[in-house]
Amino acid sequence: MTSFISKAPHMEIKYTQIFINNEWHKAGNGKTFPVINPSTGEEICRVEGGTKSDIDKAVEAARNAFRVDSAWRKLEPSARGTLMRKFAELLRRDIAYLAQLETLNNGKTLINSKIDIMGSAACIDYYAGWADKFTGETIPSTPDTFIYTRHEPVGICGQIIPWNYPILMLALKLGPALACGNVVILKPAEETPLTALYCASLIKEAGFPPGVVNIVPGDGPECGHAIVVHEGIDKISFTGSVEVGKKVQENAAKSNLKRVTLELGGKSPLIICEDADVDFAVYVAHEAIFHNAAQNCIAGSRTFVHSKIYPEFIAKSVALAKKRIVGDPFDPNTQQGPQINSQQFKKILNYIELGKNAGARLECGGQKAYDKGYFIQPAVFSDVKDDMIIAREEIFGPVMCVLKFDSYDEVIERANATNFGLVAGVITKDLTRALKFVQELQAGSVWVNTYAAMKFQAPFGGFKQSGQGRELGKYGLEPYYEVKTVVMKLLSKI
């Protein structure tokens, strides 16, 4: 086994405390937790771990920031947008440090960290433009009645983000919430809190009033649960697993029936038709599953390939996977870094064994790559059947599962035979066939002759157990405002 040698720079970790009311705090009970470098398995630092008392403190700060006479509520909507753009500018200013911190803590390649940060700034800019544009409407009525609607912020929003895209998910959730005039309590994943805490310092530097954005690191069962059940929080936005999402929805309903937006898992089909250019299809399918060490809810984790091109597709996919460079995410030649932690690492290796035991053919990869860290060589399975566990459950790791099909009606039925419905992809030169897939695939997004084509102006979310509600685009604003109807009776002249 190859020895791992890290090229990570020595970094000063500037922020490890809880950010409430534009100030840094230690945890109420003195609790801290370790943050691990997934490339080495070694501790980077310790971070304050928020508990119920810290969430109570954050809710109090947020409530004060949301009072009708507060500095935040008195801002012109366009001024909210100006603050957001300033935050975006600071993300770009500090991209070098932030990218290194993201790569150190998350394990994604340095170039991907930079792409994520630029995307985060662009997302904040996009929603800054909406701050003065989400309007109500006037409604026709009788001549002596004036009816109109107002869009008003929901209030205190609890946001719980995952570890696979720490900065990008922070931006996706903060953007619409702040554009609509809400205040936020955000919990980063306990695996990756460092860049979120640095972003807190930029939010303060940008000039946001105290209490508007509060960032409380901590674990899910204690800190996350305290957010979900808190009677003073008006809305929850959660991105994570289906199992935890169900608990979030249940506990939110049992507390104060707070609004809930969920973006959960996926087992997304990518369907490659017989008329596809095989080299192009192999590249798209490769990136669809292996990007970000396959730690993507949108990963193309079920690759359906027409039987006429199946052998060629397998051969070329295996050749490409064998060329994929797995290693130090700080090395510019690296294409794939480590999995996030030892738990995920072991879980993925177990799935690979389950696939082999079920009769799928492991064409390449699937082994630990280095003596340190959580690196796995990208695996390609052929002869995968629909009833195999690796074809049904979300692996969240670098495992390509290739399934064969003969007819298009058949593959649509098979693609839809899952509890998930986040995204789907199809590669074909036939426009009529493409539109048939678009109409019949049960997924929140369908990508034709491309994959992972997410745009900030386009809504994103899932069907079935992949979630509810939408993020991004104009639709992403809707969960963050209330619609108030006003009816005025016009008095007659005396």
DSSP of 44-104? EEEEE---HHHHHHHHHHHHHHTSTTSHHHHS-HHHHHHHHHHHHHHHHHTHHHHHHHHHH
- How far is C-alpha 270 from the chain's CA centre? 20
Among 48, 102, 191, 263, which one carries the catalytic annotation?
263
Q: Tokens standing for 476?
A: 């992403």
d(CA 270, CA 264): 18
What are the strands of the beta sheet with 183-187, ordered from one edge?
A: 23-25, 18-20, 213-215, 183-187, 156-160, 235-239, 259-263, 467-468
Count of alpha carbons within 13 angstroms of residue 451, beta-carbon side:
29
Q: How many CB atoms lie within 10 A of CB 325?
A: 11
- CA atoms 458, 462, 466, 469: torsion sign: positive
In Å, how far are 305, 382, 449 from 407, measured between CA atoms? 11, 19, 19
Indicate the SS3 state at residue 329. coil
Tell me how far apart the alpha carbons of residues 52 and 223 are, in angstroms, rounded to a whole number: 6
Q: Which of 229, 268, 205, 277 is nearest to 416 (CA)?
A: 268
410 closest CA partner among 437, 432, 380: 437
Q: How far apart (Å, rounded) are the C-alpha atoms in residues 341 and 38?
A: 6
The yes-or-no answer on residue 263 being catalytic is yes
3-state secondary structure of 230: coil
Considering only CA atoms, which of 382, 52, 76 is closest in space to residue 232? 52
CB atoms within 10 A of CB 144: 10
| Residues 164, 195 contacting (CB under 8 angstroms) | no
Q: CA-to-CA distance for 82 and 345, rounded, in angstroms?
A: 42
DSSP annotation string for 90-113: HHHHTHHHHHHHHHHHH---HHHH
Sign for the pseudo-dihedral over CA of 236, 238, 242, 245 = negative
Q: How many residues does the chain have?
A: 494
Residues known to be catalytic: 263
